[in-house]
Amino acid sequence: MRVAVIGAGSWGTAVSWLLGGTGVDVTLWAREPEIAEGINTTHRNPMFMTDVVLGERVTATPDIAQAVTGAEAVIVVTPSHGVRGTAEAMAPFLAQSTPVVNLSKGVEQGTLMRMTEVLEDVLGNRDRLGALSGPNHAEEVSKGVPSAAVIAAYDPDVARTIQQLFMAPTFRVYTNADVVGVELGAASKNVIAVAAGMSDGLGYGDNTKATLMTRGLAEMSRLGVHLGANPLTYMGLAGMGDLIATCTSRHSRNRALGEWVARGGTVESYAAETHMVAEGAASAISLSDLGDSIGVELPITHQVRGILHEGQPPSAAVASLMGRSAADELHGLGLIEDGE
């Protein structure tokens, strides 16, 4: 089987390593020609995950037409803000029946579309689309650390195909029919992780982080349920699993961004220092807008947006969250009636 992996950052490199190790022929598309050249000559990505040795079955190209033409599946691993442009570049060379799987975690600003909705808008044929998510740091997956993920697709046959494609001795994949929940969980947990990082940066303790994670999960679920997601999805790998990893890990870009900002940095200085994209920064805007558009309260997301983009001091956000009106713990999840 030949698969195209679109995006040669950390996660794209790790996915290529994983698939190449299972006997799949991988063509990795890199926007930068020097990355493609480095991979083809040294079997290493010269910019991201530089210690990972890619197998003989992994080749790279800066030509997206070459990457996707004839591929039996396409795995999209670009930052979420680049998914639409990448899909437009792929479209002329991609067969209508080729499965396309999104691994990017975000909601498009302006349109407020999930990533498979963006792909459908550009490529058509929703039935061949899916999303893979879970508590998967590239640094650990590429070292063979036992990990798991969930694939959600509109067509069960596509889900099973991708499940078998990714299954490996150190990588287990489950299926889930809830594309909405899996994608929204993937996007919204990044914002909660930024808040968790801010808690670390402010010197708060385990009580605070546990509270943020738990109420963050409620906030994530509340948004998903209002948009048709299965609330049980948020108890799974794309919800609680990914939330735990992203809020607590030393590998988490979003947690690190929050800590950086709480100690006086900015989103721009973090990107300049690390050369990494923390998706939670953009998602704080798009998810806040999405919640407002459907009348769903997202208090943690709103405060993260205020701190990252509107100059609000973290201390003011803490006071605002702690001073909210008393409420039932399950309020807004559709599990109780208002006022009970």
Active site residue 105: no
Backbone φ/ψ region at 279: left (φ over 0), alpha (ψ -120 to 50), beta:
alpha
| The Cα angle at residue 134 between residues 32 and 177, in degrees rounded to 5 | 110
DSSP 82: G
Catalytic residue among 105, 143, 189, 209: 189
Alpha-carbon Rg of the chain, whole angstroms? 20
- Under DSSP, is residue 39 helix (H, G, I), strand (E, B) or coil? helix
Residues whose CB is less than 8 angstroms from the CB of residue 12 and which lie 6 or more positions away in sequence, other chains included: 5, 6, 28, 48, 77, 78
- Pairing label, strands 129-133, 25-29: unpaired
One DSSP character per residue, 296-340 reads ---HHHHHHHHHHHS---HHHHHHHHHTSPP--TTTTTTSS-TT-
Catalytic residues: 189
